[in-house]
Structure 1
Amino acid sequence: MNMRISAGGFTERSLEIIRELKHLEGPMLPILHAIQDEFGYVPEEVKPVIASELNLSRAEVHGVVTFYHDFRHEPAGRHVLKLCRAEACQSMGSDQLADRVKQLLGIDFHQTTLDGAVTLEPVFCLGLCACAPAAMLDDEVYGRVDEHCLSEMMAEVRR
C-alpha cells in the first residue's frame, strides 16, 4: 500500500484498476475495494475518474463511498482497531468498552491518533455474537474482550 503518491499517480493507477475490473457485473464495489487496497483509502480525486469510466455521476460514486462504512476518506493508521457495535456486543458491554478505548486513544470513531498509530472504526458485526463483545485489531479477531484484553491490544498498537 503506497500512501504517498502524487495525484497523477492516483489517477494513473486507478485507471489501471478500473479498466481491469469494469467488465464485471456491478463493478463499482470491486473497484472501490481494489483502490482502497492499493492506496489505503479512496482518494477524493479518484471519484470523478471512476464516474467517468463507469458512465456514472460523481454523486453516484460519492454516495456509494459514503454509504459503506468500510471505505476510508483518508489513510488509516498503522493499526486499525474495529469494535463491534451490533446488538449482541452492546448487550455484553461494548458501549462501555468503546468509551474506554476512546478515552485511552484520545480519539472517536473514524479518527486516527495524532501519532498515526491507530485508527478506530465501528463495525456492525464480526460474527462472534456468542463471544461478545468482539473486536478486530488489524486482521486478528478477539472475542469476550475485557479490560485485560483491551490492555494487551493497546500495548500492541503502541509498540
Structure 2
Amino acid sequence: MTTTEPQPGRTVAEVVTDTVAALDGQRGALLPILHAIQETLGCVPREAVPVLAERLNLSRADVHGVISFYHDFRSEPAGRTTVKICRAEACQAVGSSRLVDHVRDRYGMELGETRSDGALTVDQVFCLGNCALGPTVQVGERLHGRVDAAKLTTLIDSALAS
C-alpha cells in the first residue's frame, strides 16, 4: 500500500527531487513526474508543489493548476478501497447518476471523498471504456458493468470486508 510517508530516511522533497532527476529529460515531463510521485507516495502532497516548481522552472500556480485539473491526482492518499463511478454520457444515459445518489445515501459520501477511517474513496471518472455495459464502476482494479444500486452495495461491502 502506498502512503504519503516516503521511504525511511527520505523526505518528500528528496522523493520529488529524485523523480524530477529521473524524468526531467522527457518532453512535457510534469505529467509523468506527477504520476511517478503519486505512485511512490500515494498522492502528490502539497509540500511537493514548491519543489516541483523550482526544479522544473515553473510557477507554483502552474504546478497546482495541473494537479487540480486532472482528477487522477490527489493531495491526500486514497482509501484502502477505491471506487470509480463512470459519469460519461453512455453511463449517464443508463443510470450512473443513481449510483452516485446511492453512494451518498448509503455511505454518506460525496464524489472525491475518502471516509474518515481511510477505508473507502469514491471518485468519478469520465470513461472506463466499458460503454456497452454501463453503468460501469471500477472497484480497486476490477471493472464491473451493468451495475445497479444493489450490485454496487455488494461490491463495496465485499471490498470493505476483505
TM-score by length of 1: 0.94
In the TM superposition, residue 156 of structure 1 has moved relative to its aligned partner by 2.0
Q: Unaligned 5+ residue runs, structure 2? A: none
8 A contact 2:4–2:45 mirrored in 1: no
User: Could you report, residue by residue, the CA deviation over 1:21-55 in whole angstroms, capped at 9, with x for unpaired residues?
Assistant: 00111100000000011111111111111111111
Residues in 2 aligned to 1:50 and 1:3: alpha-carbon distance in whole angstroms: 16
Residues in 1 aligned to 2:104 and 2:35: alpha-carbon distance in whole angstroms: 27
8 A contact 1:83–1:136 mirrored in 2: yes
8 A contact 2:81–2:120 mirrored in 1: yes
Residues in 1 aligned to 2:157 and 2:17: alpha-carbon distance in whole angstroms: 40
Residues in 2 aligned to 1:90 and 1:113: alpha-carbon distance in whole angstroms: 25
Q: Could you tell me which of 66, 70, 82 is aligned with 1:68?
A: 70
Q: Could you tell me which of 52, 55, 71 is aligned with 1:53?
A: 55
Aligned partner of residue 71 in structure 1, secondary structure: coil
1:2 partner amino acid: T
8 A contact 1:77–1:117 mirrored in 2: yes
Residues in 2 aligned to 1:74 and 1:35: alpha-carbon distance in whole angstroms: 12
In the TM superposition, residue 149 of structure 1 has moved relative to its aligned partner by 2.0
8 A contact 1:109–1:121 mirrored in 2: yes
Residues in 2 aligned to 1:133 and 1:110: alpha-carbon distance in whole angstroms: 18
User: Percent same amino acid among aligned pairs?
Assistant: 45
8 A contact 2:82–2:120 mirrored in 1: yes
Aligned partner of residue 44 in structure 1, secondary structure: coil
Pairing 1:3–2:30 present? no
Aligned partner of residue 101 in structure 1, secondary structure: helix
Identify the residue that residue 125 of structure 1 maps to in structure 2.
127
Q: Unaligned 5+ residue runs, structure 1? A: none
Alignment RMSD: 1.6
Pairing 1:89–2:111 present? no
8 A contact 2:43–2:77 mirrored in 1: yes
In the TM superposition, residue 120 of structure 1 has moved relative to its aligned partner by 0.6
8 A contact 1:117–1:157 mirrored in 2: no
Residues in 2 aligned to 1:157 and 1:102: alpha-carbon distance in whole angstroms: 18
Segments of 4+ moved more than 4 angstroms: none
Identify the residue that residue 35 of structure 1 maps to in structure 2.
37
Identify the residue that residue 153 of structure 1 maps to in structure 2.
155
Aligned partner of residue 116 in structure 2, secondary structure: coil
